[in-house]
């Protein structure tokens, strides 16, 4: 590794605005790191696509991030983490972190009645990654899985509260309420954008797991272990790239992060 390698950026990607919830946590915990965020807005949603296609999309984005000299990659997307993490790790040498395991560990820590709800896209729920990882750590757990595909377009539109999102959320959350889960994993990085609406519908004792903070802690550890955390003490540079409609992305993005995103550039993936 050359002398300046620690100033190389961290690459982060999602199908759209959802991964900004992870980017926000990363910026807070690692303010001096340079970062490149890719939102694949031309092909969102990933959650209704096949494993093969999700792996192809994820590979194209990783190729781009590596060509931009990233030192590690964070898959800020549960769907791509569920279906492509193993594949990507076997294809590339740089560290790649997903969002599933940190969320699983947090949920197990918080649940008292050992009944956990998992919300995710169709692809994430179909992969059964959450349930199998949860049960591997504790075989006695009860898990209620629920796909919530309509949450993704609502988040992309920035339509996060009011009658329509509430009705949709009630419909999706009903089985979790009936089964008396005490902990709910927001197993899609778009869902924290609808956190207030989801919280209002669930009973007060239910704990919501948004893995963004724990993912950011994990990334910090990985940088330290590999000795490639930046030595810089000035705010890191963020480059935000999307595959379509940068203006629409910008309108929604600015509402959901605590920093100025700046210019958003359109790119093409191959």
Given the residues 70, 77, 148, 240, the one annotated as active site: 77
Query: Considering the complex, what minimum distance in angstroms separates the CB of residue 227 from ligand DGL?
Result: 30
Quick check: 151 binds ligand DGL (CB under 6 A)? no
| x-marked contacts with ligand DGL along 169-208 as a string, rule CB under 6 A | -------------------xxx------------------
Quick check: 121 binds ligand DGL (CB under 6 A)? yes
Q: Within positions 70 to 89, which residues make up the interface with ligand DGL, using CB under 6 A?
A: 77-79
- Give the Cβ contact number of residue 185 at 10 Å: 28
- Would residue 77 show up in a list of annotated catalytic residues for this protein? yes
Locus of tokens 């994820």: 58
Q: Burial level of 168, CB count in 10 A (0-12/13-18/19+)?
A: middle
Residue in 45, 102, 117, 192 binding ligand DGL, rule: CB under 6 A: 45
- Would residue 188 show up in a list of annotated catalytic residues for this protein? yes
Distance CA 78, CA 69 (A): 24
Give the residue with the Cβ less far from ligand DGL, 14 or 213: 14
**Which residues are designated catalytic?**
77, 188
Which parts of this chain interact with ligand DGL (CB under 6 A)?
A: 14-15, 18, 44-47, 77-79, 121, 124, 152, 188-190
């Amino acid at each position: 590794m050359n002398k300046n390698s620690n100033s190389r950026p961290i690459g982060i990607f999602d199908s759209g605005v959802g991964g900004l919830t992870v980017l926000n946590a990363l910026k807070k915990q690692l303010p001096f790191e340079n970062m490149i965020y890719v939102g694949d807005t031309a092909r969102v949603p990933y959650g209704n696509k096949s494993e093969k296609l999700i792996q192809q999309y994820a590979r194209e984005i990783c190729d781009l991030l590596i060509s931009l000299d990233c030192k590690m990659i964070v898959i800020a997307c549960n769907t791509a983490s569920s279906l492509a993490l193993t594949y990507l790790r076997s294809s590339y040498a740089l560290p790649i972190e997903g969002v599933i395991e940190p969320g699983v560990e947090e949920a197990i820590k918080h649940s008292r009645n050992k009944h956990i709800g998992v919300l995710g896209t169709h692809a994430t729920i179909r992969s059964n990654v959450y349930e199998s990882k949860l049960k591997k750590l504790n075989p006695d757990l009860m898990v209620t899985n629920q796909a919530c595909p309509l949450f993704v377009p609502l988040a992309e539109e920035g339509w996060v509260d009011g009658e329509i999102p509430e009705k949709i959320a009630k419909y999706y959350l009903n089985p979790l309420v009936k089964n008396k889960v005490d902990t709910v994993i927001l197993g899609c990085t778009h869902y924290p954008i609808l956190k207030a609406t989801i919280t209002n519908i669930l009973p007060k004792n239910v704990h919501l797991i948004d893995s963004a903070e724990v993912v950011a802690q994990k990334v910090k550890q990985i940088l330290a272990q590999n000795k490639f955390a930046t030595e810089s003490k000035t705010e890191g540079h963020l480059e935000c790239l999307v595959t379509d409609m940068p203006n629409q992305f910008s309108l929604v993005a600015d509402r959901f992060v605590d920093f100025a995103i700046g210019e958003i550039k359109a790119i093409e993936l191959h």
